[in-house]
Amino acid sequence: MTAATRVMASASLVLAIASASMAADPEWVWPTHRGNTERTGNLDGSQGPQMPNVLWVYKSPEHFVASIVPGSKSIFVGGLGAFNTGVFHAISSDQKPTERVTWSKIAPYIKRPTVCAPAVAGGLVIFGDGMHQTDDAMLYCVKADTGLPVWSFSVPGKLVHIEGSPTVDRGRVYVGAGDAGVLCVDSTRVTLEGKEQNLLTVIPTLTKQWSELTAAYERDKKKNPQLAIPPSADALPKPVPKLLWQAGKKKWHVDAPTAVAGEYVFAASAYLDAEKVGKRSLLCLRASSGQVVWETKLDLNPWAGPTIAGHAVLVGCSSIRFDRKLIPKASGEVVALNVADGRVLWRQPVTGGVLSSIAVKDDLAVYTCTDGKIYARKELTGELVWTYDAKIPFFAGPALAGKVVYAADLKSIVHAIGLTDGKKRWVFDVGGDQSVQARGMVFGSPVVHRGNLYLTTCNLDGVGDQPSVVVCLSDQPAGVMALAKSMTVDAKARKVTIPCRVAARKLPTLKEIFPLEVIASYPYPRGQKAHETIVSFDVKPSAVHKAIESLGLKPGKPAKGVDAAAEGPQVQVLLEFAGITGKSRVIPISKTLVDTRTGRPMPTLKWHFTGSAMRKRDPSKPELTYAADMSGTLISIFPVTDETVLQSNMTLKEESLLKLETNKSVLPPIGTEVNLIIKALP
């Protein structure tokens, strides 16, 4: 059996194992960068959305540079926090979860910025930290369901950082670490308190100790909540995985993801011109020892890392890194080599840089470029099959799912293209979508999972100080879950009923809970006042406006400012929910409010049908839009905004004296489905 045959047989075995594991538990499905050695960004065979909607969006001040990795119930993504601190989130993939962020790892646990897309295997998430010029990296392993730290491995040294995704294969972790070269650690054997142990015996110990720390914290909270200190991961034992080998230390500079096929590891080394370290080459190593099998020199830096398909290993190269200012100077190349001996099969120059992994499917090698184009070539010969011109540069690579190519450019526009013909299927402006409204750049390649497309943005250039986002695009229309029940109008009873849900008062992106200013808003993150509301809803405020008008009422004028007062016909605002006995209970909405300074509930308020101010959605166009549809505010307590449908009789003078919070003795728990009723007075 030749070396090439052994590699391909082993590669097939790896993919078969991954597929079988996915069927048993989807948490096992992402063992390497982009999910597989072909770097398709799709493992379950599902095609992405054909008529996309934003199913949900998570907004954050952090910058998401790495590609998303899907799990069974969450998606995992690393990012850059304030002052380039590292963050790592598990984000619920449900449309309407109680909490969007299920767990997070931040400083001081994470030591450095995080741009590494993780590997997920055996219910564990493995990722590294560090980027560009940072030193002394860490490799982390945490539980996928809870984020509980399992082990960490320190990689010291100057210009040592883990930017590229690790690969997990048969319990071993293979990862590039900048000037530290390539490392292989045995994740199943760890040293704890000077003794080498099996990881399976250590995890229950860690879990038990964490439960004990959490229980102690809960007891302290009951005794003295002001002095109770939440448990820290630093209080847990710190297992260290066994280092099996390290290759290329201070000889290579490996920032790209690794790839493993059978008994071989493929790694891409770059040369840093300013620091004069590393070398430009693609390497094949023995997985058992790190011994070099072959090495092929490259003309440009292989930031995209290796892609393995058939008898070829392909790599995208670029003269620049992920720096938008340098795009006009970029040049690139795509090189295909024989997996057995590193012999060049074909190479094609590109008029821009290829910064992200080449994806291969159905004998086509597809890659994006900073020249704003997507290319498809025959995997075996390099023959050009088609070119798609987006006219906007790409840093992120494509996802291949079904017969469609999905790629996101630097203006957060997603392009869906036919895999075989390169023809446009659809284009979706994520940053400009009404529910997103946050223009960012896409650095991390999108993924397709269970028919949905996931992508992240970053805002490293500070464009308008807008947030970064994690977005789920789906054929499933937004709001099809429990809150998709239709608003109803009862003309005889002269009332409008709006299905809602009790909103969360603490948002994952905010450190504090802000006083209530509104009654009803779009849910987070669509609603501008989603952190200051009692209930959230999905219907358009303009539709509620029309429904109220159908009761025979005409809107007055919304107030805004210190001396302003709401004008318009008076209505009742009521909340309907199931009581303790299960019977329906209807109360004035003011009973759900309490003044935190006095502890007293609010007296009954007067509510006015004001209608909303009108605004330009696009400043360059004259058309006006019902502004409450953009802000998502339906009912405001104080005149902090005129983008609303109803306002109370309160003024901003009272707002300075009151700090309102929900009355938890009256209001059902967060997430409970309720009805908001707007009723015309006799």
Q: What is the pLDDT of residues 362-401, one digit of tens each?
A: 999 999 999 999 999 999 999 999 999 999 999 999 999 9
Is the pLDDT at 9 greater than 70? The verdict is: no
Q: How confident is the model at residue 466 (pLDDT cuts 50, 70, 90)?
A: confident
Average pLDDT, the chain: 89
Measured between alpha carbons, how far is 557 from 215 in angstroms, rounded to an integer? Answer: 53
Predicted pLDDT of residue 22: 34
Q: Average pLDDT, stretch 163-183? A: 96
Is the pLDDT at 231 greater than 50? The verdict is: yes
Structure tokens at 653: 């003078």
Predicted pLDDT of residue 305: 96
If you ran DSSP here, which 8-state letter would residue 460 be given?
A: T
Is the pLDDT at 26 greater than 60? The verdict is: no
The per-residue DSSP string of 89-132 comes to EEEE-SSS-S-SEEEEE-TTTS-S---PPPEEETTEEEEE---T
Q: How confident is the model at residue 228 (pLDDT cuts 50, 70, 90)?
A: confident
Is the pLDDT at 18 greater than 80? The verdict is: no
Is the pLDDT at 215 greater than 80? The verdict is: yes
Q: How confident is the model at residue 483 (pLDDT cuts 50, 70, 90)?
A: very low
Measured between alpha carbons, how far is 521 from 533 in angstroms, rounded to an integer? Answer: 6
100-109, 217-226, 446-455: least confident range:
217-226
Q: Which of the two residues, 423 and 616, has the higher pLDDT score?
A: 423
Structure tokens at 123: 């219910």
Structure tokens at 58: 């998570």
Question: Cα 292 vs. chain centroid, distance in angstroms?
Answer: 37
Predicted pLDDT of residue 677: 96
118-127, 499-508, 575-584: least confident range:
575-584
Predicted pLDDT of residue 221: 82
Do residues 455 and 442 make contact, with C-beta atoms less than 8 angstroms apart?
A: yes
Listed in sequence order, the residues at least 6 apart from 421 whose beta carbon sits closer than 8 Å to its beta carbon are 386
**Tens digit of each residue's pLDDT (9 = 90 or more) over 580-592:** 566 789 999 999 9
Q: What angle do CA 648, 681, 653 make, to 5 degrees?
A: 15
393-397, 407-411, 483-487, 579-583: least confident range:
483-487
Structure tokens at 54: 């934003």
Question: Cα 261 vs. chain centroid, distance in angstroms?
Answer: 29
Q: Average pLDDT, stretch 158-168? A: 96
Q: Average pLDDT, stretch 139-152? A: 94
Is the pLDDT at 13 greater than 70? The verdict is: no
Q: How confident is the model at residue 530 (pLDDT cuts 50, 70, 90)?
A: confident
Q: Average pLDDT, stretch 645-663? A: 88
Domain 3-474 has CATH 3.10.580.10: no
Q: How confident is the model at residue 665 (pLDDT cuts 50, 70, 90)?
A: confident
- Placement of tokens 């290993």 in the chain: 313
For β-strands 306-309 and 452-456, DSSP reports them as: unpaired
Q: How confident is the model at residue 477 (pLDDT cuts 50, 70, 90)?
A: low
Query: What are φ and ψ of residue 554, in 5° steps?
Result: -115, 135
**Tens digit of each residue's pLDDT (9 = 90 or more) over 265-298:** 999 999 999 999 999 999 999 999 999 999 999 9
Strand partners, 427: 415
| Domain ranges within the chain, ordered by starting residue | 3-474, 482-680
Is the pLDDT at 4 greater than 50? The verdict is: no
46-55, 126-135, 184-193: least confident range:
46-55
Is the pLDDT at 480 greater than 60? The verdict is: no
Three-state DSSP state, 603: coil
Q: Which of the two residues, 504 and 352, has the higher pLDDT score?
A: 352
Predicted pLDDT of residue 463: 53
Predicted pLDDT of residue 336: 97
CA distances from 148 to 151, 206, 370 (A): 9, 8, 39
Predicted pLDDT of residue 14: 38
Burial classification of residue 231, based on how many CB atoms lie within 10 Å of its CB (0-12 exposed, 13-18 middle, 19 or more buried): middle
Cis before 108? omega within 30 = yes
Predicted pLDDT of residue 175: 98
Is the pLDDT at 561 greater than 90? The verdict is: no
